[in-house]
Amino acid sequence: MKKTLLAAALLGSFAASAFAAPSVTLYGVIDTGLNYTHYRADDGKTASTDTFSMASSQTAGSRWGLRGNEKIGSVTVGFNLENGFNSDDGTETMSRLFGREASVHIAGKYGTLYAGREGKLISTAGAAAMGGIFSPFSVLWGDAGIKAQTGTDWGRIDNSLTYVSPSFSGLEIRAQYSFKNDGTKTGDENSSDVDRYAALGVSYKNGPAQFGLIGDYTMWKNVAKATENVDNGFSVIAGGNYDFKAVRVYGQVNYFDNQSTLVNSVGGLDKFTATTSTIDKKGNLGYEGWGISLGATAPAFGGTVIAGVSYRDAEEVQGDNEYKRWEAALGYTYAFSKRTNAYAGVTYAQQKAEMKDKDQTPSAVGVMAGLVHKF
């Protein structure tokens, strides 16, 4: 339920002519469901494992937030504060009050500038996010989303400036820079003692077609001053979607180099990669590789069917291990109203780990179902 707070009438005729009444909106999303996972290690000694649990944020991040804006002359000034939480147990996510977003912005005829904690362009978090262009699963639905199809960090950044241009016949340009990716870490902002981030994105929308291109660059911190600087991280993703009325088709291809994270959250696949690599030290095991995915959505039985397949090929930049990953997913959503929908989905993921001392091919099946309510 939206709640609007209007400015007091004492602003008088001057305020009425120069300002619009400020407003603040309380909003939120609750996603709670059940999750079953079957995991096979393929190591010759570990039995298959099965888990069944209640889960939060399977298709939409559970959250509550406050957003507001005020018209001042020809510009609009606003803010967004967003908290993430686990709806199955009530705990806070990201160990922050407003971990999902904490930003102010100013918007005018030359575009919008955001400042604070924001989602990266590759994510689906925040007004500047572009992740929904590339995959029907966005970054969620277990490993069905693009987070497990790339080597790109799709999360959030602190101390950032994000610019979104006006639309030029459907064309928009986005630019982003973080003075310090994680404000909880030690080190001075905008120095070589902290990780910094920059990204440039272009999107185009015309009728049934939508396309996007993002390039990002991570400047890794130097931990040991006496050691040689490591190569900085780079990634690029290109893709889009097209609505054929009967079906909307999605596709993307990406390349990454010297990235610190490979997401393999289904089952226990992450046991076969150094999920977070020590990219910031000499002799790092950062990842290089590429990925591709295809997906589609189609109306069916009063709801929407979602399907997708993907492949990712990655190797350690200065190591001997390689990881090839296949994934297929199928989902379904049914809307009871504009605010409430049910969902169900199944994901199969397999990773071929070619390691120095052995090769293994672990696999996992994930099944989920739940309810999403928006307010």
Alpha-carbon distance 33 to 372, whole Å? 9
Q: Domain boundaries in the chain?
A: 9-374
Convert 69-108 to b/e letters by CB count within 10 Å (16 or more is b): bbbeeeeeebbbbbbbbebbeeeebeebebbbbbbebebe
**Cβ atoms < 10 Å from Cβ of 185:** 12
Q: Report pLDDT for 251.
A: 98
pLDDT of residue 20: 56
| Contact between 83 and 64 (Cβ < 8 Å) | yes
> Model-level pTM greater than 0.95?
no
The confidence score (pLDDT) of residue 43 equals: 73
**pLDDT at position 263:** 67
Q: How far apart are CA 146 and CA 275, in angstroms?
A: 16
With CA atoms as reference, report the closest residue to 269 among 33, 35, 37, 36: 37
Q: What is the spatial distance between Cα 305 and Cα 296, in angstroms, rounded to a whole number?
A: 8
- pLDDT tens digits in sequence order for the chain, 375 residues long: 444 433 333 334 334 444 456 799 999 999 999 999 999 888 777 778 999 999 999 999 999 999 999 999 999 999 999 999 999 999 999 999 999 999 999 999 999 999 999 999 999 999 999 999 999 999 889 878 888 888 887 889 999 999 999 999 999 999 999 999 999 999 999 998 999 999 999 999 999 999 999 999 999 887 544 345 568 899 999 999 999 999 999 999 999 998 877 766 554 555 454 444 443 333 455 789 999 999 999 999 999 999 999 999 998 887 778 889 999 999 999 999 999 999 999 999 998 888 777 788 889 999 999 999 999
Phi/psi region, residue 147 (left: phi>0; alpha: psi -120 to 50; beta: rest), is alpha
Q: Which CATH number fits domain 9-374: 2.40.160.10, 3.30.460.80, 2.40.220.10, 2.40.170.20?
A: 2.40.160.10
pLDDT of residue 244: 98
How far apart are alpha carbons 20 and 5 in whole angstroms?
12
